[in-house]
Structure 1
């Protein structure tokens, strides 16, 4: 169990580093969006993960075949980098964009194992994602992630102000918050959970068997059900059992 947790944490940390590096990879010239908004399909190598490093919204769907469609101005679409590295697409521009109409990216993939978000864009799942193993989510900006998923292992790392909203279920999850963003997972059932908070963000989750909490910041953990609990607190955050009955 410990080795599995360490491996998961390392994967999330690597994903977050990729997000930060992608944002720093900029050059001096800039472009502006020109013309009306259009839709275009992108021809890309297969990928099972992505990092959103531009100001755009992403709608992610699980389907039988990969498809990527972008709604934006044509010169902005042409400026997108389409490189897939180690199975992940880092969504960034070849040349920085100064001003453009809103950009929306529609992604359909058979499977998904990594989501990264840097900046103010939002990522929304349009249908439940079922994976046989693990899903890593890393947020370093102010954008939000909203996803329904069923998997074996879930890792979430927040270092910014964006929220992660989860529905579905998993067997084992690791949740890390070093920023002010929240993890809203009352509708995401997990058997085992480990929560580490060094920032001000809060975690809301549903755990059935075992919950381990490490708090060195001001964020709190709110949980439902009656799991065995192991708690270590050196900050001002608290661990609070939630007795609210959901009516939805």
Structure 2
């Protein structure tokens, strides 16, 4: 089964239109994709903050109409960041209309001083770890990129790092702070909530040892490229290999 359950369009911060995404999925013979644009009234981006319920629901309707025309299975959903406790901040209307909800730690509620260039701030990353635990045990279907695209922006001096350098930094932070004791607790939270751990195509995360541990605990997985451009859609080879190698279970119980 070829799936990609994390794709963005120009509705939020992606490049392609929803029609282009669906056409690409059809071309790739995808069994199922999910269009999961950003939806968060607390997001640092003004463009994302201003997206309202009516606009989102109308977007879902357009997606479903075109998907039916093209005979392509598409789930309509969102990627959002919760509050620190892990609680969703969306209306019941949006919750009920969304077939898949990805929660990702895009930012951390942290009030102490942060110094740009000092990447290994222990207190900041402990706050991140607690928020990730809270989110893993709370609402939503999928925990997005737990070891990729970490909330490093407050620590980065603008213009001093490349995309690849930031990916490498996230890997180093994951190795330093997300040890096995923490991962065992994280797995327990996933089992309590039945939320899936995302195998993230864009960053090739998490580490293989994490997949092995989560599989041994019975945690389910979701496969998503986090594509923001057409060429990234379906690029989930590493995640697919890990699922096959460790005989992991994919999360399919969407409402």
Question: TM over 0.5: same fold?
Answer: no
| TM-score calculated relative to the size of structure 1 | 0.29
Greater relative contact order structure (CA < 8 Å, 6+ sep): 2
| TM-score calculated relative to the size of structure 2 | 0.28
Q: Which has the larger radius of gyration?
A: 1
More strand by share: 1
